[in-house]
Amino acid sequence: MRLSALFPLACAIVAFVLSMLCLFAGHKPGFMEEYHIVTLNTSTLGHNILSTATTSSGPTPTATSIGSFFSSIAHNVSSTIEGDINGIIGDVADKLAKELGIKQWYSLHLMDLCEGTFTPNATEKGASLNVSTCSNQTAMYHFDISKQLNKELEIGPLHINLSTISWPSEIQDGLNALNTALDATFVLYAIGIAAAGCAILASLVAFFLHGSRLISFGNWGLATISFLSLLIASIIITVIQSKATNLINKYGNEIGVYAYKGQKYLILTWVAVAVMFLAMLAWVAEFCVGKRNRGREYTEKSSRHGWGRSRKSDEAALRRSGV
Ligand SMILES: *[C@@H]1O[C@H](CO)[C@@H](O)[C@H](O)[C@H]1NC(C)=O
Ligand SMILES: *[C@@H]1O[C@H](CO)[C@@H](O)[C@H](O)[C@H]1NC(C)=O
Ligand SMILES: *[C@@H]1O[C@H](CO)[C@@H](O)[C@H](O)[C@H]1NC(C)=O
Ligand SMILES: *[C@@H]1O[C@H](CO)[C@@H](O)[C@H](O)[C@H]1NC(C)=O
Ligand SMILES: *[C@@H]1O[C@H](CO)[C@@H](O)[C@H](O)[C@H]1NC(C)=O
Ligand SMILES: *[C@@H]1O[C@H](CO)[C@@H](O)[C@H](O)[C@H]1NC(C)=O
Whether residue 304 lies inside any domain: the answer is no
280 domain-assigned: yes
Domain holding 69, by residue range, is: 3-299
Task: State mean pLDDT over 116-140.
Answer: 89
Which tens digit of pLDDT belongs to each residue from 266-300?
A: 999 999 999 999 999 999 998 888 777 766 666 65
Distance CA 278, CA 274 (A): 6
Q: Is residue 145 part of a domain?
A: yes
Please report whether residue 210 resides in a domain: yes
pLDDT given for residue 90 in this prediction: 53
Q: Dump pLDDT digits (tens) for 144-177.
A: 999 999 999 898 887 888 888 889 999 999 999 9
pLDDT value for 161? 84
Domain assignment present for residue 274? The answer is: yes
**Measuring from atom 9 of ligand 3, which residue has the nearest CA?**
123
User: What confidence tens digit (pLDDT) does each residue in 78-113 have?
Assistant: 555 544 444 444 566 677 888 888 999 999 999 999
Residue 163 within any structural domain of the chain: yes
Do 19 and 274 contact (CB within 8 A), yes or no?
no
- Tell me if 123 CB under 6 Å of ligand 4: no
Q: Is 133 in the pocket of ligand 4 (CB under 6 A)?
A: no
Atom of ligand 2 nearest to the CA of 121: 1
Q: How many structural domains are present in the chain? A: 1
Answer with the residue of higher pLDDT: 158 or 58: 158
Contacts of residue 285, defined as CB under 8 A and 6 or more positions apart, other chains included, come to: 318, 323
Residue 122 Cβ inside 6 Å of ligand 3? The answer reads yes
Measured in angstroms, how far is the CA atom of residue 292 from the centroid of ligand 3?
A: 61
Q: Whose CA is nearest to atom 9 of ligand 2?
A: 124
Query: Do the domain assignments include residue 322?
Result: no
Q: Would you say residue 309 lies in a domain?
A: no
CB 89 less than 6 A from any atom of ligand 3: yes
Over the chain, what is the mean pLDDT? 82
Residue 251 has pLDDT above 50, yes or no: yes
pTM reported for the whole predicted model:
0.79
pLDDT range class, residue 302, cuts 50, 70, 90: low
- In our burial notation (b when 16+ CB lie closer than 10 A, e otherwise), range 231-242 reads bbbbebbbebbe
